[in-house]
Every structure is written in structure tokens, then in C-alpha cells.
Structure 1
């Protein structure tokens, strides 16, 4: 009987404040290390695609290099070797290619 009375008199472990603080801290860490950087990266990609202009040398997500001949609201027309023109979705443009004058130069080992 004494064991039962001791068990009933023991206070619950942990405080209510600490139980609330831990999930909030985990949420803040997830936000600042995962969600916020991804939002920033998405915004940068959107502004890059909106800034595409005719005459820019670009590389698509598939690795195709070419010159932008026409830029529409949803598509771009890319001119590749020997006047071949291919139409791509605007989201398929990954990045701007290097300097057109330096395309024939040998690449540096660290690049």
C-alpha cells in the first residue's frame, strides 16, 4: 500500500513550458535551414527566367547550348548549330552560358 501512495503523490515529469518550447525550436530550425533557403532559390530562378532577353547564350536543363532567338511568355526559341531552331519551355533554361568570345578557348581545370 505504501508504494501506491508514493506513486500517486509523485508530480508529473517535465514542465508544460519545456514541452511547448521544444517543438517550436525544431520548427524554427527547419524554417531557417530548409524552407527559407528553398524559397530564396525559387525566387532567384523565377527572376532569372523573367530576365531572359533575345541574343543571350544559354544552356538548357538538358545541357543543350544555344542562342535565344525569340523569347515568349511561356516558351523560348533556341538557335543551335547550323541555324537549327528548337522551341523550349521557358522553365527549361537552366543558366546563361559563358562569354561567347571565350567559347573556343580551352577550359580551365578548376572551372
Structure 2
């Protein structure tokens, strides 16, 4: 009789933990993993930035990169008002990629 009580308690506790494990799995695949992929793409973009690239910063400032300082990981950006120095991590996107038109398939 005692062994049946112990076996019933184990099965119940396992079934009560299962939804939490499932929620953690869903959270990982729908929230954490896509964020990690986005961060990886952003890091490669920031590493491949070249002089003369038109960019948009995270604060919304548009400009053109005129100098790259690898020693302190900064960029000098020329804006309409003058020149500004930014951290490489503050570059959000390349302006030409944002303005690129979407390709529409031709009708036959």
C-alpha cells in the first residue's frame, strides 16, 4: 500500500512540472533564439561598416561615415549640421538598405 502512494505522488509532481518546462521551451524558441540571431546579424553589420557608407544611428540621426577609428571603436559621421563621433554600436542600419525598393515579380 505504501509503494502505491509513493508512485502516485511521483507521477503527479512530474505532471505539474511539465507545463513549466514546456513554457520555458516555447519562450526560448520564440523569444530568446530570434533575439540572439538579430544580435549576431547586427554585430556582423557593425564589423563590416566601411568609410562612405550612409547610415542611421539608433537615435535616428542620418549621416555618412567619413572616418573609422578601430583603436577606440568609434566612427566619425558627417551629418547636415557637421561632424559627430559615435560608438560603433550606436549604428542602427545602413540607409541604402532601408531605401532599397522591394522587388516585385513581373507579370507574364
| TM-score where L is the length of structure 1 | 0.68
Q: Which runs of 5+ in 1 are unaligned?
A: 1-8, 103-111
- SS of structure 1 residue aligned to 2:49: coil
Q: Which runs of 5+ in 2 are unaligned?
A: 100-108
How many corresponding residue pairs? 90
Aligned structure 1 segments of 4 or more residues deviating by more than 4 angstroms: none
1:75 to partner: Cα distance: 0.5
- What is the match of residue 66 of structure 2? 69
Alignment of 1:8-27 (within 5 A): 15-27=12-24
- SS of structure 2 residue aligned to 1:59: strand
| Larger radius of gyration between Structure 1 and Structure 2 | 1
Equivalent in 23, 30, 36 of residue 33 of structure 2: 36
Between the aligned partners of 2:24 and 2:83, the Cα distance in structure 1 is 48
- SS of structure 2 residue aligned to 1:81: coil
- What is the match of residue 106 of structure 2? none
| TM-score where L is the length of structure 2 | 0.70
Q: For the aligned residues, what is the CA RMSD?
A: 2.5
